[in-house]
Amino acid sequence: MLRIIVITLTFAVLWSIRWLWFAGPNQAVIENWLKGGADIAEYSDIRQFGFPNRYDVTLNDLRITDGDSQIFETDVLQIMRLAYRQDHFILAFSNDIKIVGKTITTSQNRASIVKQENEVQRVVWEANDIVLDNGATIKHGQLAIIVPPKDRVITLYLQLSEIAQNGMVVHENAKLQIKVLMQSPPDTSTLANFVTSLETGFISAEISNPDDVEQIKQLTEFRNIGGITNHFPVLATLWN
């Protein structure tokens, strides 16, 4: 019995040392990626919890801007990963977020970032009970973004259910596939580099709907979401 207690305590101490050893670098990676050597992101504070099995980094009042352009705002952003998985992050946002200056309200708002085989990065954003600034509502939305390494084409898959305007459902389901062609592969090394590479590298976007071509036209009733659509015409197409 004493041997079991000693082994258990030894393992607990070693695991605690391991968690503390990697906690600092984990938070530093996130901070450095956000700052990226440029004054593009700001937040009021950052802290890390999650012991013993996770690293949960929480940022409060996160604001991402590019000059006079407001790119993204959230009161709370949690970046979580399991202690034994360095290639899979879960992101949880506050229910009210702003994208290019427009408010999106949800009941649940999460995303995941996974590095797959061959260094392909997959980002999946999912939200429920979405309310847009123009009054349109969406029961459930999911956006998957595939970013291959050293490839100029980013693929987006958008799925929306129960899209309503003025309280009436206008689409039960909508699916869009968007292929965005860039001047060069997006630079994901830092947030600043990523935003810059998207703004300066956009060439064109090809939008298709596997179910109903006419939905593309009808989904352009949403109003313009900001000046950033000058850089990304695909956003104007989806949200005007």
Structurally, how many domains does the chain consist of? 1
Contacts of 86 (CB under 8 A, 6+ apart): none
Q: How far apart are CA 94 and CA 191, in angstroms?
A: 20
**pLDDT above 60 for 131:** yes
Over the stretch 159-216, which tens digit does the pLDDT of each residue have? 888 888 777 887 788 788 888 888 888 888 888 888 888 777 777 777 776 555 555 5
Alpha carbon distance, N-terminus to C-terminus of the chain: 69
The pLDDT value recorded for residue 227 is 39
Q: How far apart are CA 77 and CA 34, in angstroms?
A: 12
Q: What is the mean pLDDT of residues 213-230?
A: 44
Q: DSSP for 118-165?
A: GG-EEEEEEEEEEEETTS-EEEEEEEEEEE-TT-SEEEEEEEEEEEEE
The pLDDT value recorded for residue 60 is 94
By residue range, what is the domain housing residue 28?
Answer: 2-239
Q: DSSP for 170-218?
A: EEEEEEEEEEEEESS----SSHHHHHHHHHHHEEEEEEE-SS-THHHHH
Number of CB atoms found within 10 A of residue 15's CB = 14
Q: Is the model more confident about 236 or about 203?
A: 203
The pLDDT value recorded for residue 91 is 92
Q: How distant is the alpha carbon of residue 207 from its chain centre?
A: 21
The pTM of the whole model exceeds 0.85: no
Share of the chain above pLDDT 90, in %: 15
Share of the chain above pLDDT 70, in %: 76
Q: How distant is the alpha carbon of residue 120 from its chain centre?
A: 16
